[in-house]
Amino acid sequence: GSAEFSPSLDSDFTFTLPAGRRECFYQPMRREASLELEYQVLDGAGLDVDFQLLSPNGETLVYDERKSDGVHTVETEDGDYMFCFDNTFSTISEKVIFFELILDNMGEEGQDQEDWKKYVTGTDLLDMKLEDILESINSVKARLSKSVQIQTLLRAFEARDRNIQESNFDRVNFWSMVNLGVMVVVSAVQVYMLKSLFEDKRKSRT
């Protein structure tokens, strides 16, 4: 399957990749921009997936084989970049995958600056340079964007850790029940053997 994302600066997505399937997504990019992509396998046996990032002309830029997570940044040209998650190596287990896209130098900030210059002129600056105001705004914007990114990644790590803990809890319970069953069977066999031994002694005395 395939999907296309709108040209937003920051977006994230979580989806389920069935066993034996390959899912691809498309992201339109501009020349001299930057595309950063981070992914994590949150749930599924092995916590691994194959990942591939391709340029608009079909050239493979990144290929990860059986990885649980990855972070990649590429300088882009005009066109649609395709990235794919491949679970065809698994015949049984589906995978829950989280990924985040961060786009830089896509042109929106330049447009914002032009809009500011239209409405803020002369004495309205109150002796402050327009460049200083824009620099402060861009700095705050970058920090807020980074904070949102970190919070999103922390939530993804938390989800993966929770899935691992739940899986380990189920395994512990299963093997505890198996051990309990084995102990009960062994105890029953021992009691039966002791009982048979005493009965044989009584018969030999008579």
Q: What pLDDT does 92 receive?
A: 93
Residues 120 and 99 in one domain: no
Residues 87 and 160 in one domain: no
- Looking at 103-129, list the stretches that DSSP marks H as alpha helix, in order from N- to C-terminal side: 108-119
Residues 99 and 111 in one domain: no
What's the mean pLDDT when you consider all of the chain?
Answer: 80
Residues 186 and 137 in one domain: yes
Residues 95 and 120 in one domain: no
Contacts of 45 (CB under 8 A, 6+ apart): 90, 92, 93
Residues 97 and 122 in one domain: no
**Cα angle value 11/131/73 (rounded, 5°):** 30
Domain end, chosen from 106, 127, 152, is at 106
Per-residue pLDDT of 50-86, as tens digits, reads 999 999 999 999 999 999 999 999 999 999 999 999 9
Residues 91 and 114 in one domain: no
Query: Would you say residue 6 has pLDDT above 50?
Result: no
Domain that holds residue 32: 1-106
Q: How many domains does the chain have?
A: 2
Tell whether the torsion through CA atoms of 133, 134, 139 and 140 is positive or negative.
positive
Assign residue 90 the CATH number of its domain: 2.60.120.1050
Query: Would you say residue 125 has pLDDT above 60?
Result: no
The three-state secondary structure class of 51 is strand
**Cα angle value 199/203/206 (rounded, 5°):** 140
Residues 166 and 188 in one domain: yes
Residues 117 and 101 in one domain: no
Query: Would you say residue 21 has pLDDT above 90?
Result: yes
Residues 39 and 57 in one domain: yes
Domain end, chosen from 106, 136, 163, is at 106
Domain end, chosen from 55, 86, 106, is at 106
Q: What pLDDT does 114 receive?
A: 56
Task: Pick the more confident residue, 164 or 44.
Answer: 44
Q: What pLDDT does 12 receive?
A: 87
Query: Would you say residue 202 has pLDDT above 80?
Result: no
Question: Are 29 and 102 a contacting pair, CB within 8 Å?
Answer: no
Per-residue pLDDT of 99-118, as tens digits, reads 999 898 876 554 555 554 55
